[in-house]
Structure 1
Amino acid sequence: MRALNQRAVLDRLRMLGAATRPQIAKDTGLSKPTVGQALVDLELHGLVRPIGRTSAGPGRSAVVYEPDPSAGYVLGVDIGRQRIRAAVADLAGSVVARVDERNRCRTAGALVRTVSELATQTVSDAGLTLSDVVVKVIGTPGVPTGRSVHHAPNLPGWERAGLLDELESALGTELVVENDANLAAIGEYASGAARSVGVFACIMVGTGIGMGVVVDGELFRGAHGAAGEIGYLPFGQSTRDVQRGQFEDAAAAASVLDMAARQGLSARSAREVFDLARAGDTRALDVVREEGARLAFLVAAVTAVVDPELVVLGGGIGGNLDLLCGPMEEVLRRTTPLVPRIVAGELGDGAVLAGAVAVGLESARELVFHRRGAVTL
C-alpha cells in the first residue's frame, strides 16, 4: 500500500506538474497525512524535491514539490547514413547535452565504436557518466529483429548477425534499438506536428525512405515489425538493388541527384538541388516537381491503406515541403479522391532523438522508481 501511495503521488506530479501536499491530496483522493508520508519517502530517495513555497492566499504557506529531474537520465542516438546524433535528457525530458557528428564509417564495427564514443562524449558533456543513464535508445534504419537489424542497405555491414549484442556490449544493458522512422513518428506525436492526432503517418525522405504509423498513440508495427518499410513499394518495372527497394531507388536522395544530373546540374547533394530551386533555378525546379510527383504516389498509396488524419513529412528531402507541396497536391488531385492533410515535421533533424527520448523516458521513470527503493518499510 505504501508503494501504491508513493506511485500515486509521483504520477500526479509527473502528469499535472508541481503541487503542494493539499493539492496532491485533493487530486489523488489520498489523505494529507498519507500524501505527506509519501512525499517524505520520495524526497528521501531523490525522486521528488521541494522547489519553494506558496505565497498567495490566506494562512500559512505550503511547500511546493516536483519530480526531481536529476533522478535519472536517458540517452538517445540517431544513426543516419550521413550523420550520427546523440542527446542526453533528464527525467523531465529536458535535453542537457547534444552532439552531432558526420558518419564516416564504412564498416559495422567502426560504426559501433563511433556510436559508443559519441554516446560517451555526450554523456560527459552533460557532466555525467554512462552509469547515470537509465535507458539508452538507438534509432536506426531497418527493422531490428532478434539480435540483428534487417533491411538497412545504406549502412554497410549493419545487417550482420549479433549486431545488437555488440551495441549492448558497448553501451550496456537497458538498451532499446528501434527503427528511426518509428522514433520520428513518436517524436512528432509527443512534441511536434502530430500532437493529439489519433491516426497519422510520418514519412521520412532522405538518404533512405521510411515511415512510422501511429494509431491512438501506439506504433503500428505489422506482423514482423516491417510496417512502414515503404521504400519497397513498387515503382516502375525494375530496381538496381532489390534490397534497397524500388521506391527508395526512385525518390531518395541519390535519385534526386540523378534527376539533377540529367538536367545538367552539378549539385553535390540533394540539399543543393533544393537550395537552387528555392533560388529560382528552372532546372532545379523541374527536379523538385518530379520528386513531388513521385512522393504524391507514395502518399496516395499510404492513404488508401492507412487512411491517416495527417501525413507528416520529414527528413532531409521531406523537410522541403514548401517546395514539394504544390507538385504533390497537383498530382494527388489527379490521382485519388483521398487527399490527406500534409504538413512538415516540426522537429527537423531532432525528430528521431525526440522520439528516442520519449521512448526512453517511459521505461526510465519506471526503472528509477524501483531501483531507488522508494518504499521505506
Structure 2
Amino acid sequence: MRAGSPRLLREINDRAAIEALLRNGPLTRAELEGIIGLSKPATAQLLTRLEESDTVLRNGLRGGGRGPRAQLWSVNGALAHVAAVDLTPDHVDVAIADISGALLTEHSAPMPKAAKSDVLEAFHGAVSKAAGQAGLTPEALHHVVVGSPGAVDPATGKLAYAPHMPGWGGFDLLDELHGLLGTTVTVENDVNLVAVEEMIAGRATEVRDFVLIWPADAVGAAVVVNGVLLRGATGGAGEIDGLQIPDRAVAETGTDRTGGTFGELLDNGALVRLARAHGVAARTGEAAVRKALSSGPAGREFLVDLARRIATGVAGVISVLDPELVLLSGDVAQAGGTTLVDLVSAEIRHLVVPRTPVQLALVTGKPVRSGALHTALSVAREQVFGLPAATTEPFRGPHHGNAAVLAPTTRR
C-alpha cells in the first residue's frame, strides 16, 4: 500500500461515521459499526480518534433492563453554528442551529419599508437578537443563509425581480451583508429554498427533474434539473411573475383578455375580484379559496377559473422543461388542497402534450426557513467536516469569496 493511504482511509471512515451520526442522531458503537461496515476494533479506534479531536461526544446510554447499557455517541454540535433567515417585505424570521442540526433559538421581527440604512439596521438587529439568545454574536456564526424574494444577479450581487422589497435594491447585497454580520452569507431565492426542502423532506425526494410553483403574490417557480437548482445567467430562472398570458377565466373581472402578466392574474386583488364575480366574497385570495371549497357550485366555478389561470402559465413551463413532477406550494395552493390541484391538472391536460403529474407540496409551516437551514448546514458541514455538499449548493460568486450569490423566482 502506497504511503499516505492509511491516513486517507482513516479520513474517509471518519467522514462516513460523522455523516451517519448526523443523519441518524446518537448511535452506539455497535449501531455505527453496522452502518459504516467497519470491524469492532476499527470502529472503537475511530470513535476514540473523533472524541480526542472533540468531533464527537458521549451522549448518554441506550438500553436497560437486565442487559448492559451501551454508550451513545453524537456529533459535537458546538463546533459550528449557522443561521437561517426568511426575509419578506414585512418581517424577518431567524433560526439559529448548531452543526448537528439542533435548533437553538428562533426570533421574528417586523421589517420597515424604508431606505437601505433602515432595513439593514433592522435586519442586523434581528440576527443579532437571535444569535444573542443562543449565546453567540453574528460574527461567531459559521454561515448565514437568507431566503428572500427576487433574484441576486451573480455578476453584480444586486437584488432584482423584487420591486416589493423597498430599501433592498441597487447595491451589492452579498458584500453588504457580509460586512454587516462579519461572516459568510448566502442569499437564495425563497421559492428555491422551498424546493430544496421538498427534495429533502417532501414530495420530490424520489425525482430528479421537477418544478415547484408558488401561485400567489407574486408568482414564483423553482426549477430543478437532474437534482440541481437551475438559476440562469442572471439568477432569474423561474421568474414567471411577469410572464404574459391570456386570461382564460370564464367570469368577467375587467382583465385584458388578450394578455396580462401571470402575477397580475394571481395577485391577491385579482383573486378577490374573481371570487366576487362568482358570488364568493372574501377579503383575501387565500380566504376566498378556502370559502369556495364549501360554497357549492359557485365556489366550484371560481376554483375552476382559478385553475384555468394557474394552468395557463404552468403549461408553458411544462412545454419547455417536460419535468417529472409539478408541485404547487404556498398559502393559496395549500388552501385549495387536492381539489385545486386536481382542477389545475385537468386544465393542463387540455393545454400541453406531456402528462406531467401535479401534486400539492408536502412541506408546510416554515418551508423557506427550513430550506435555508438545510442549505446553511450543508455549507458548514462541507467546510468543517469535509462532507460533500448537497447538489443544491449555492453558486459562489466570483467576487464574493465564500459569500454565495443565489436566486430565482419571487414570493411576496
Q: Is the 8 A contact 1:277 1:285 kept in 2?
A: yes
Q: How many equivalent residue pairs?
A: 364
Alpha-carbon spacing, 1:97–1:33, altered in 2? closer, same or farther (3 Å) = same
| Structure 1: distance between partners of 2:384 and 2:161 | 34
Output the amino acid matched with 2:89: R
Letter in 2 for 1:193: R
Cα distance per residue 1:132-159 (max 9 Å; x no partner) = 4321100111211232111112212422
Task: Specify the alignment match of 1:299 in structure 2.
Answer: 314
Alpha carbons of 1:6 and 1:258: their partners in 2 closer, same or farther (altered >3 Å)?
A: same
2:364 aligns to what?
348
1:368 equivalent in structure 2 = 384
Query: Following the alignment from structure 1 to structure 2, what is the Cα–Cα distance between the partners of residues 328 and 160?
Result: 37
Q: 2:48 aligns with which of 31, 40, 46?
A: 40
- Note the residue ranges of structure 2 that are not aligned, 5 or more in a row: 1-6, 248-254, 387-412
* Kept after mapping to 2: 8 A contact 1:25/1:35: yes
How many Å apart are 1:320 and its aligned residue?
A: 2.3
Instruction: Give the structure-1-normalised TM-score.
Output: 0.83
**Match of residue 332, structure 2, among 317, 330, 336:** 317
Q: Deviation per CA, 1:226-274: give whole Å up to 9, x if none.
A: 221122322149xx9xxxx821122232422343566687744323322
**CA deviation after TM superposition for structure 1 residue 287, in Å:** 4.3
> Partner of 1:319: helix, strand, or coil?
helix
Q: Partner of 1:113 in structure 2?
A: 121
Conservation of the 8 A alpha-carbon contact between 1:187 and 1:353:
no
| Structure with the larger helix share | 1
Deviation of 1:359 (Å): 0.8
Of residues 81, 86, 92 in structure 2, which corresponds to 1:84? 92
Question: Equivalent residue for 2:203?
Answer: 193
| Equivalent position SS for 1:231 | coil
- Higher mean displacement: 352-361 or 168-177: 168-177
- Of the three residues 221, 224, 228, the one matched with 1:214 is 224
Counterpart in the other structure of 1:234: 244
Structure 1 residues 130 and 41: alpha-carbon distance in aligned structure 2, compared to 1, 3 A threshold? farther
| Residue of structure 1 in register with 2:305 after alignment | 290
**What is residue 123 of structure 1 aligned with on the other side?**
131
Structure 1: runs of 5+ lacking an equivalent? 371-377
Alignment-derived partner of residue 202 in structure 1: 212
Distance 1:287 1:107 in 2: 40
Aligned-residue Cα RMSD (Å) equals: 3.3
Q: What is the CA distance between 1:37 and its match in structure 2?
A: 4.0
What is the CA–CA distance in structure 2 between the aligned matches of 1:259 and 1:39, rounded to whole Å? 63
- Cα pair distance change 1:160/1:254, threshold 3 Å: farther
Q: Distance in 1 between matches of 2:220 and 2:86?
A: 14
Whether the 8 Å CA contact 1:253–1:317 is kept in 2: the answer is no
Matched, 1:64 2:64: no
Q: 1:29 to 1:292 in 2, by over 3 A?
A: closer
How far does residue 348 in structure 1 lie from its aligned partner after superposition? 2.2
* Pair 1:284–1:124, CA change in 2 (3 A): farther
TM-score by length of 2: 0.76
Which of 168, 174, 177 is residue 178 of structure 2 equivalent to? 168
Greater mean alpha carbon deviation, residues 281-290 or residues 192-201:
281-290
In structure 1, the residue corresponding to 2:375 is in which secondary structure? Answer: helix
Residue 344 of structure 1: how far off its partner (Å): 1.9
Q: Quick one: percent identity of the two aligned structures?
A: 30
